[in-house]
Structure 1
Amino acid sequence: MDRTSRSEATPVLRNVLGSLIALIGATAAVWSPFRPWYDGRHGSDFRIEDLFNGLTDNGATLFGSLVLPMVFAGLLTLVGVVLCSRLLITVAGLVVLGFTLLWMVRQGQHAGELTAGTQGMGVGAASALGGGALLVLGALIMRGRARRVPAYEEDEGPLRPLPPTPPVEWGRKQRPGPEHGPEPPPDGHGPPPPDRTS
């Protein structure tokens, strides 16, 4: 494989690898609300408005819970993979990480502390954090959509040859020939004009 084909294949491989990692991260993020987040309570049971006003023990509807931002991030990831857009995948990762970290702050305020284990943070919150990190990592690996470069330049027509230049003889003064008339006298005084009376 020559150097040109290698340079063309490298962005494709990076896009494929980055897209695969991003899809794995999006899957983990979307699945995370259906698993325990804290003390056996699933992410689908936390209301979105409670993340801004303080957590309560009230339940939530499916798309009024943490399911909504995770599904939104998953859709952004799918669009980003199709369009090879690093920006969309990065935004999806930031959405997942942002809502997860905001939940951690509110949960710490609500419980007084954050612990891990059966009575603390569960696999759902860990899946959300890992999924957001994988989304950002996949966006960093990707090269994005390659810019289209024209394979050839527009033909402006055949080049016209320049007219040949006459050779120049350096250090030699060209005397005027018969077609240019007689050489003028150096002092400006020529021979006397011919006598027309005879």
Structure 2
Amino acid sequence: MVRNVLGCLIALIGATAAVWSPFRPWYDGRHGSDVRIEDLFNGITDNSATLFGSLVLPMVFAGLLTLVGVVLRSRLVITVAGLVVLGFTILWMVRQGQTAGELTAGTHGMGVGAANALGGGALLILGALVMRGRPRRVLERYDDREPYPPPESWDPEPYIGDTHSIYRADDDTPPAPWSAPPPPTRQHPQPPTRPNHRQPPTRPVEWGKEQRYPGAHGQPGPPGPGPQQPPDNGA
């Protein structure tokens, strides 16, 4: 983000210098707005030019490209704008050198207009190099499976198709027709059963009842054997 902002700022400064350069002296006090575009291809003459028939036209075009590149954050568009400025400036230098025999700097030589054009083109290219451009969208594969083979490599021989289904040729039995499952039955929920906390009362336990009443109806039973005497061995 910071690199994009810095690169756009440098590019805008360069575009401003390039657009302003035709209104400054280029050579021997002659402004760039007075140099015809035709003279860049046929040779420099003393004929005056209209505003958009002079060096103003390529510089304004480069400025518009710069604005488009800044909005789109396109390094390519800004680079093209810088090449347009440098290309027309260098072409003018070549034609001016052929006409004057040499190129000098100073009062009767190259002025600040040509220097501004060269500096503006260099700043445009520098701004494009500083920018990072638009982020690229990376499309990741949703799985690691192998890609499908191209349709040219498909073999239709193992398959026989009809209007309803496709099945293998070695199996002549067509698949069973699909039937819809029965609709689910709606079951009414049963009310929850409440736990029965009431338990039947337990009968009281009477300990020793069998010993006290061994017979039926409370009658005493037959007497049991008495205590056994030890046998007498000849007494």
State how 1:30-45 maps to structure 2 within 5 Å: 30-45=19-34
Tell me whether 1:80 sits opposite 2:69 in the alignment: yes
Helix, strand or coil for the counterpart of 1:37?
A: strand
Distance in 1, matches of 2:98 and 2:138, equals 54
State how 1:23-102 maps to structure 2 within 5 Å: 23-102=12-91
State how 1:95-174 maps to structure 2 within 5 Å: 95-149=84-138
Larger RCO (CA under 8 A, 6+ residues apart): 1
Deviant stretches of 4+, over 3 Å: 152-155
Q: If each structure's helix is expressed as a fraction of its own residues, which one has the higher value? A: 1
What's 1:159 paired with?
none
Encode CA deviations 1:116-160: one digit per residue, 9 max, x unaligned: 01110000000000000000000011111012357x9879xxxxx
The amino acid that maps onto 2:47 is N
Distance in 2, matches of 1:16 and 1:153, equals 33
What TM-score, normalized to structure 1? 0.70
**In 2 relative to 1, CA 153–109 (structure 1 residues): closer, same or farther, beyond 3 Å?**
closer
Task: For residue 80 of structure 1, report the CA deviation from its aligned partner.
Answer: 0.2
Distance in 2, matches of 1:98 and 1:125, equals 12
State percent identity of aligned pairs.
Answer: 87
Distance in 1, matches of 2:70 and 2:107, equals 36
RMSD: 1.5
What's 2:3 paired with?
14
Aligned length: 143
Q: Which runs of 5+ in 2 are unaligned?
A: 144-235
Helix, strand or coil for the counterpart of 1:76?
A: helix
Helix, strand or coil for the counterpart of 2:26?
A: strand
Helix, strand or coil for the counterpart of 1:97?
A: helix
